[in-house]
């Protein structure tokens, strides 16, 4: 569980927090195998025996004061009695994880072990769009072949298709058999028959270890629906327009109900991979994509506001059905036409899934992404709870979860991998703030209860039959991290404790929320104004600004934070965020679906990955085996002055190796597979949550546009397209001028 605070020393009181201009909060990556420093939790059992505070329900931890018969809660100070069982337990502290570490992971008891073993079989269902092209289906087949290689023996797999009808495949017989049920064209009607009546679920879900070849054979039979099928099956839509016959909404609703009937019996978690080649335009859940284009333009609507909210609650309501059914939905959209991901996204992110967008099948990393997703461990049926000491409290929570309807500050996460990150900001509970007594420091406790599937052990040596190997078991665990923070007596001490990447995470969540509620323009203004206020507060704290006659500033504003190294990255990060498609205007050519994809991606990234996605890391090499400089600014000037022949840019989703036009022609291009640069690239790709595209460019010979587009510091931050009008230097001058206006 990695936890990163925006400031490692908390503000003393509300005035100090307001005067600093900094966001105050934390990011949490609960299923990360280590903490933010690489430390591992102390493992143990007896999670159900861990004492809890009678007042605030916090768990006993190493910061609590322990007496012979009682303990004092480190969060609220309440004195709690100890049971006789715990008195005996704590007489041997070396055997108790909670006495040895503030980061623990304890096993919880499960009842009915034999029944649980049956429930634990992992279930995966592919839902494939047949209202598509041959190229789309070839890519989808490749992705599912990769998935079959990643799935563990004992997993169950189902293949379904959708268009103007739903197809269910039975692959457990000698040849694949598909049974179809037609989708009503009317958006008000559901299927005339339940899928269970079309094909029993256990006939649909096939064991991967015995049916892999038959599943592969079934995949090879997939063909796009023909224009004749669409004409007769889908018919005419609104205004006589031929509908595509993509009944995605009905298909997903039916599949969720189909799977939900066996939740807790056949499976504990099912994952649906939905492969989509365009917008749902048939039956219930169909989306009107005409709003992208002349629809809002003719009404004078702001495109940056009109295209961000969902146009129907259908998919948000469907996400609630998925959660109740124990089903996680991942959407893989392979399309360059407007698909209205603003409406579809809820089905994936609220069910614990991911949303992927690929503009075309040709250079898509879909097979690698799906294999990578299935190869890493994940937890499910998770509950995340954050508690604080009594002086402060959680404010807003951000991330891909659904909040508990009854309890505050409790989030439910149906599926969580080791990369998934959430964020919280804090408020003071009163005007007093924290005590200046060093022994009473702010405490934060994060509890993460989750379930994992434990693969069957190799039982060959025990003489048991091989069938036992397909028996998976569930394990419920409780992971707790308790942290104690110092406080800053002065604002400059607060500035010295800043974590710029954690600040960026909170800022991105806030501007996404502002964009969704009030439009992209409002999100940009919020970000710009925040930097102006922070710069003004910093200049005031360090007494950089001089006043004459009460209001005239006679000293130059320090917009580069030259006296505080911890704040220095922030102007560049804000500048880059304003340049990012996340916050660029619609008229600048940002596709609304791509913006939604970035919102979903950025709001789940841990801080270091988000930093790369917003402001890429540019390093240089003198040879493929020799690093020259570890970090350059994203400017053409930096390339020229460094004199290095090779540059490597890590933009999280894209990796670019660029050889300058002046590079020695004897340098091997592309870099050899056994060199330092390639080793670095391979490690980055291996550690990444998604598969980055790798591009090699030779300056002077290849098109360098892909690389040069990332050199943003000489570019216009307002998007007029005129270089050098508002590059980074001009941006700092604009911030300085805005500070002068703000301080008047």
Among candidates 282, 205, 229, which has minimal Cα distance to 251? 282
Cα 630 to Cα 648: distance, rounded to the nearest angstrom: 10
Q: What is the pLDDT of residue 230?
A: 56
Cβ pair 448, 384 in contact under 8 A: yes
SS3 labels along 707-740: HHCCCHHHCCCCCCCCCCCCCHHHHHHHHHHHHH
Q: What is the pLDDT of residue 687?
A: 87
Cβ pair 366, 394 in contact under 8 A: no
Q: How many CA atoms lie within 13 A of 549 on its CB side?
A: 2
Among candidates 579, 518, 544, which has minimal Cα distance to 714? 579
β-strand partners of 428: 392
Extract the tokens encoding 483. 């942290």
Cβ pair 125, 157 in contact under 8 A: yes
Length of the chain: 744
* Residue numbers in the chain where pLDDT is lower than 50: 113-114, 233, 236-242, 295-301, 458-469, 719-725
Cβ contacts of 433 within 8 Å, gap of 6 or more: 11, 12, 13, 14, 16, 391
For 224-299, where are the alpha helices, taking DSSP H only?
A: 227-233, 248-260, 294-299
Extract the tokens encoding 649. 């840019």
Cα 595 to Cα 584: distance, rounded to the nearest angstrom: 9
Cα 11 to Cα 637: distance, rounded to the nearest angstrom: 39
Torsion angle, alpha carbons of 556, 562, 566, 569, to 10: 80
Phi, psi of 540 (to 5 degrees): -70, -40
Cβ pair 387, 411 in contact under 8 A: no
> For residue 101, what is the DSSP state?
-
Cα 348 to Cα 368: distance, rounded to the nearest angstrom: 19
> For residue 238, what is the DSSP state?
G
Question: How many C-beta atoms lie closer than 10 Å to residue 42's C-beta?
Answer: 16
Cβ pair 602, 538 in contact under 8 A: no
Cα 237 to Cα 185: distance, rounded to the nearest angstrom: 9
Q: What is the pLDDT of residue 49?
A: 87
Q: What is the pLDDT of residue 573?
A: 96
Phi, psi of 209 (to 5 degrees): -65, -25
Cα 205 to Cα 258: distance, rounded to the nearest angstrom: 11
Q: Which helix (H) or strand (E) holds 20?
A: helix 14-20
In Å, how far from its chain's centre is CA 520?
20
Cβ contacts of 338 within 8 Å, gap of 6 or more: 279, 289, 292, 293, 591, 592, 593
Cα 623 to Cα 478: distance, rounded to the nearest angstrom: 49
Q: What is the pTM of this model?
A: 0.90
> For residue 462, what is the DSSP state?
G
Cα 730 to Cα 641: distance, rounded to the nearest angstrom: 20
E strand intervals along 518-604: 547-548, 552-553
Question: How many C-beta atoms lie closer than 10 Å to residue 635's C-beta?
Answer: 18
Cβ pair 42, 95 in contact under 8 A: no
In Å, how far from its chain's centre is CA 18?
29
Phi, psi of 178 (to 5 degrees): -115, 135
Extract the tokens encoding 725. 């009008």
Q: What is the pLDDT of residue 464?
A: 41
Helix (H, G, I), strand (E, B) or coil at 447: strand
Q: What is the pLDDT of residue 439?
A: 65
The end-to-end CA distance of the chain, in Å, is: 45
Helices (H) then strands (E): counts for the chain: 25, 31
Find tokens 């050519």 and name the residue: 589
ω into residue 7 within 30 of 0, thus cis?
A: no
β-strand partners of 168: 160, 179
Q: What is the pLDDT of residue 303?
A: 60
Cα 209 to Cα 229: distance, rounded to the nearest angstrom: 35
Among candidates 454, 464, 460, 461, which has minimal Cα distance to 154? 454
Cβ pair 56, 77 in contact under 8 A: no
Q: What is the pLDDT of residue 436?
A: 76
Cα 86 to Cα 168: distance, rounded to the nearest angstrom: 54
């Amino acid at each position: 569980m990695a936890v990163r605070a925006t400031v490692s020393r908390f503000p003393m009181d509300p005035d100090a927090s307001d005067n600093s201009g900094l966001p105050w909060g934390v990011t949490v990556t609960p299923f990360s195998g280590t903490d933010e420093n690489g430390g591992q939790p102390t493992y143990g059992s007896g999670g159900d025996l861990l004492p809890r505070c009678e007042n605030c329900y916090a768990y006993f931890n190493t910061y609590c004061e322990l007496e012979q018969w009682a303990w004092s809660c480190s969060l609220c100070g309440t004195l709690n009695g100890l049971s006789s069982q715990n008195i005996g337990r704590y007489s041997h502290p070396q055997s108790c994880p909670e006495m040895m570490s503030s980061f623990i992971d304890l096993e919880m008891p499960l009842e009915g072990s034999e029944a649980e073993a049956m429930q634990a079989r992992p279930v995966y269902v592919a839902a494939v769009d047949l209202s598509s092209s041959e190229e789309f289906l070839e890519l989808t087949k490749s992705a599912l072949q990769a998935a079959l290689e990643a799935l563990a023996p004992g997993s169950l797999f189902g293949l379904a298709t959708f268009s103007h009808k739903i197809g269910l495949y039975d692959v457990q017989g000698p040849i694949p058999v598909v049974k179809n049920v037609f989708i009503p064209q009317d958006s008000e009607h559901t299927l005339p028959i339940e899928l269970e009546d079309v094909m029993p679920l256990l006939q649909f879900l096939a064991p991967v270890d015995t049916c892999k070849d038959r599943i592969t054979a079934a995949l090879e039979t997939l063909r796009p629906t023909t224009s004749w099928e669409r004409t007769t099956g889908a018919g005419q839509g609104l205004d006589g327009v031929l509908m595509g016959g993509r009944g995605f909404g009905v298909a997903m609703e039916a599949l969720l109900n189909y799977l939900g009937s066996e939740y807790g019996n056949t499976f504990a978690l099912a994952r649906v991979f939905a492969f989509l080649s365009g917008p749902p335009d048939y039956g219930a859940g169909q989306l009107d994509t005409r709003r992208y284009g002349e629809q809002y333009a003719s009404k004078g609507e702001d495109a940056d506001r009109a295209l961000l909210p969902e146009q129907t609650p259908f998919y948000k309501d469907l996400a609630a059905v998925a959660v109740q059914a124990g089903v996680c939905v991942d959407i893989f959209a392979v399309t360059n036409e407007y698909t209205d991901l603003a409406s579809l996204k809820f089905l994936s992110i609220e069910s614990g899934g991911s949303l992927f967008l690929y503009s075309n099948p040709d250079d898509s990393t879909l097979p690698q992404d799906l294999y990578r997703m299935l190869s890493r461990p994940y937890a499910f049926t998770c509950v995340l709870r954050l508690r604080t000491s009594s002086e402060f409290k959680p404010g807003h929570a951000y991330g891909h979860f659904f909040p508990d309807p009854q309890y505050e500050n409790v989030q439910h996460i149906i599926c969580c991998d080791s990369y998934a990150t959430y964020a919280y900001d804090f408020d003071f509970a009163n005007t007093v703030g924290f005590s200046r007594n060093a022994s009473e420091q702010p405490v934060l406790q994060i509890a993460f209860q989750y379930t994992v599937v434990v693969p069957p052990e190799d039982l060959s040596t025990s003489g048991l039959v091989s069938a036992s190997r397909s028996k998976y078991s569930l394990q419920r665990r409780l992971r707790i991290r308790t942290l104690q923070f110092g406080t800053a007596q002065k604002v400059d001490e607060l500035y010295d404790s800043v974590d710029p990447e954690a600040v960026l995470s909170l800022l991105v969540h806030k501007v996404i929320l502002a964009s969704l509620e009030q439009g992209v323009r409002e999100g940009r203004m919020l970000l710009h104004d925040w930097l102006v206020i922070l710069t003004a507060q910093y200049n005031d704290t360090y007494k950089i600004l001089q006043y004459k006659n009460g209001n005239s500033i006679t000293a130059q504003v320090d917009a580069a934070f030259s006296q505080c190294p911890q704040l220095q990255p922030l102007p560049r990060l804000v500048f880059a965020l304003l340049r990012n498609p996340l916050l660029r205007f619609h008229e600048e050519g940002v596709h609304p679906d791509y913006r939604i994809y970035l919102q979903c991606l950025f709001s789940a990234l841990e801080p270091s990955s988000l930093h790369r996605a917003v402001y890429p890391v540019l390093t240089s090499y003198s040879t493929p085996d020799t690093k020259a400089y570890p970090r350059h600014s994203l400017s053409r000037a930096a390339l020229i002055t460094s004199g290095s022949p090779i540059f490597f840019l890590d933009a999280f989703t894209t990796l670019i190796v660029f050889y300058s036009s002046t590079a020695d022609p004897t340098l091997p291009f592309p870099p050899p597979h056994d060199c330092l640069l390639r080793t670095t690239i391979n490690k980055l790709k291996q550690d990444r949550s998604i598969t980055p595209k790798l591009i090699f460019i030779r300056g002077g010979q290849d098109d360098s546009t892909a690389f040069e587009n990332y050199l943003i510091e000489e570019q216009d931050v307002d998007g007029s397209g005129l270089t050098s009008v508002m590059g980074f230097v001009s941006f700092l001058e604009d911030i300085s001028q805005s500070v002068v206006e703000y301080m008047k």
